[in-house]
């Protein structure tokens, strides 16, 4: 066993002595040692209950004859970090999470791992480490939050963000907003909707790196605890079979996951995280593959924020396995791909079925005939940009309007709330990319303000930063190259006409090549916003959003 490096033989008597100092018995030390990465903290609703999940995992490990060894990990709550300096640390935390799991599992050579994330950057960070290490491992998330109820409406965190704009527009009072904030997030779990956290947990299941149900079983249910126990049991079985993550996360598995991404209408952040995970799996995953698969897929689930259905609805309708089974009829799913169940995708979905065709539509009657995400190119984004097209109003799929240029998210947010954005405008927020931000902050506050002000069918927003999974409307992010690298988004002038054509996958600045080149010659790099500490180091090492904002090798 891998753990023999730290426990077997006379020379390891000091090591065993240290184990015994913590109360481990000889029998426990002899068993397979399973590292359990617990990202519990008291600042993320999706993580506040992870102690209970981890205790269930550990019970499962012991039931199967292994010894669980828990260690901790960090996590940022994107909602609480939103719209201030903290958001610049969110994406950057992904690399720290991956490195810290790698460090713990190499310094203490566990025989296997159970990774227990729940939200935003924690799930992809742990997956990156999992594939980097390539020892038997499995994931169990904390599960999604339930939606709230307020004045007869189903509400969630995004309803509160949009409520700020509604107060500014006179459509809601501050007292209404006070009431709403008390009802919008009624339970623990990752925020209720197909936002980034739930997107990544669903895609982890689709990749085959978590058991069926991982993405959709609600956080507060007994079924989530049972799944955690089953995950602990399966961690030991993976060691017995020597089934490792890279045997599962093959090119075919990533294509399966992207197909599910498109069917669900997942967060645009998946276009950052899935390539980053693939990079650590040594799988080449060019940005174009998202368009390629999107064109072959159908958008068959209309989930919050773009539609009415919650993760609980999706779970009751059959969950991710039912979605995969529906997509398999399009011949875009590799049913021979292996999963952590020890069975293939095809074997897993044999018993799956769609229990509510309003939530999981048949491929013959989709919400949209293409997948939920589109990659746009053009002189404004030669390396690509990303939009959740399933959350764009039909009248905004093609749009042309004057640029309203802002050098930061704060400037744009203030202008939107002050009523300075008019119908037809294209809001441009730049110098917020991976390097220029630094940290590529999410733009949920300005996009939610646009919706709250009633402009989501009349104004667009583009940025070299990124968007929350809760964003809806014509919001185009990850514009690459970013402004800080001399990208064309840094050359846009107030009033320039910007042309958006999502069906044609085009994002263009309506000026000729000669003018664009003249502006490029006049452009000068800006002084970094942050010059010390982790973010300064991150800015020096991070690559483009088009490559998943991974760090330079």
Catalytic residues: 468
Give dist(CA 539, CA 256) in Å, integer.
32
Residue 442 and residue 82 in contact, taking contact as beta carbons nearer than 8 Å: yes
Peptide bond into 305 cis (omega under 30): yes
Q: Nearest CA to 544 among 504, 489, 506?
A: 489
DSSP codes joined into one string, 521-551 = HH--PPPPS--SHHHHHHHHHB--GGGTSPB
Element (H, E) at 163: helix 157-168
Give dist(CA 115, CA 137) in Å, integer.
7
DSSP codes joined into one string, 34-64 = EEEEE---SS-TTTTTHHHHHHHHHHHHHHT
β-partners of residue 426 are 403, 460
DSSP codes joined into one string, 192-245 = SSSSHHHHHHHHHHHHTSB-TTTTTS-TTSHHHHHHHHHHHHHHHHHHHHT--H
Element (H, E) at 463: strand 460-463
Rounded CA Rg of the chain:
23
Tell the residue number behind the tokens 């919706």, with chain if given: 451
Give dist(CA 328, CA 324) in Å, integer.
6
């Amino acid at each position: 066993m891998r753990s023999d490096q730290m426990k077997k033989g006379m020379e390891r008597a000091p090591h065993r002595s240290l184990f015994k100092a913590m109360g481990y018995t000889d029998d426990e030390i002899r068993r397979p040692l399973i590292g359990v990465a617990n990202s519990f903290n008291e600042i993320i609703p999706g993580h506040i209950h992870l102690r209970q999940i981890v205790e269930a995992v550990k019970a499962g490990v012991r039931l199967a004859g292994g010894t669980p060894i828990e260690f901790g990990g960090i996590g940022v709550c994107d909602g609480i970090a939103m719209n201030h300096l903290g958001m610049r640390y969110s994406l950057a935390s992904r690399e720290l999470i991956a490195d810290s799991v790698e460090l713990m599992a190499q310094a203490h050579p566990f025989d296997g791992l159970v990774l227990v994330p729940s939200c935003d950057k924690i799930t992809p960070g742990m997956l990156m480490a999992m594939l980097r290490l390539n020892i038997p491992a499995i994931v169990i998330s904390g599960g999604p939050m339930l939606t709230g109820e307020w004045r007869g409406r189903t509400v969630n965190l995004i309803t509160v963000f949009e409520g700020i704009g509604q107060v500014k527009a006179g459509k809601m009072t501050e007292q209404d907003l006070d009431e709403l904030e008390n009802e919008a997030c009624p339970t623990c779990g990752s925020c209720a909707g197909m936002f980034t956290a739930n997107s990544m947990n669903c895609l982890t299941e689709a990749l085959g790196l978590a058991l069926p149900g991982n993405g959709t079983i609600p956080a507060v249910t007994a079924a989530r605890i049972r799944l955690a126990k089953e995950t602990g049991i399966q961690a030991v079985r993976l060691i017995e079979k020597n089934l490792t993550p890279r045997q599962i996360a093959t090119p075919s598995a990533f294509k399966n996951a992207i197909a599910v991404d498109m069917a669900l209408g997942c967060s645009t952040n998946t276009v950052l995280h899935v390539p980053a995970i693939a990079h650590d799996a040594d799988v080449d995953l060019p940005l174009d593959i998202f368009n390629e698969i999107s064109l072959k897929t159908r958008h068959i689930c209309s989930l919050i924020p773009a539609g009415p259905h919650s993760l609980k609805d999706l779970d009751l309708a059959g969950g991710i396995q039912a979605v995969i089974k529906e997509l398999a009829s399009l011949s875009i799913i590799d049913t021979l791909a292996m999963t952590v169940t020890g069975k293939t995708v095809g074997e897993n979905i044999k018993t799956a079925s769609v229990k509510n065709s309003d939530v999981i539509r048949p491929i013959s009657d989709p919400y949209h005939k293409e997948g939920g995400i589109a990659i746009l190119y053009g002189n404004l984004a030669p390396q690509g940009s990303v939009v959740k097209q399933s959350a764009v109003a039909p009248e905004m799929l093609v749009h042309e309007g004057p640029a309203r240029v802002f050098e930061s998210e704060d400037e744009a947010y203030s202008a939107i709330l002050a009523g300075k954005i008019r119908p037809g405008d294209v809001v441009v927020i730049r110098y917020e990319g991976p390097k220029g931000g630094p940290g590529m902050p999410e733009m949920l506050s300005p996009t939610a303000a646009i919706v709250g002000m009633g402009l989501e069918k009349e104004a667009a927003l583009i940025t070299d930063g990124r968007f929350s999974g809760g964003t809806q409307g014509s919001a185009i992010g990850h514009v690459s190259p970013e402004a800080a690298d001399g990208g064309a988004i840094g050359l846009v002038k107030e009033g320039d006409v910007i042309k958006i054509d999502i069906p044609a996958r085009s994002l263009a600045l309506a000026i000729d090549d000669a003018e664009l080149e003249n502006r490029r010659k006049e452009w000068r790099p800006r002084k970094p916003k942050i010059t010390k500490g982790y973010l300064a180091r991150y800015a020096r090492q991070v690559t483009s959003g088009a490559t998943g904002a991974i760090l330079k090798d």
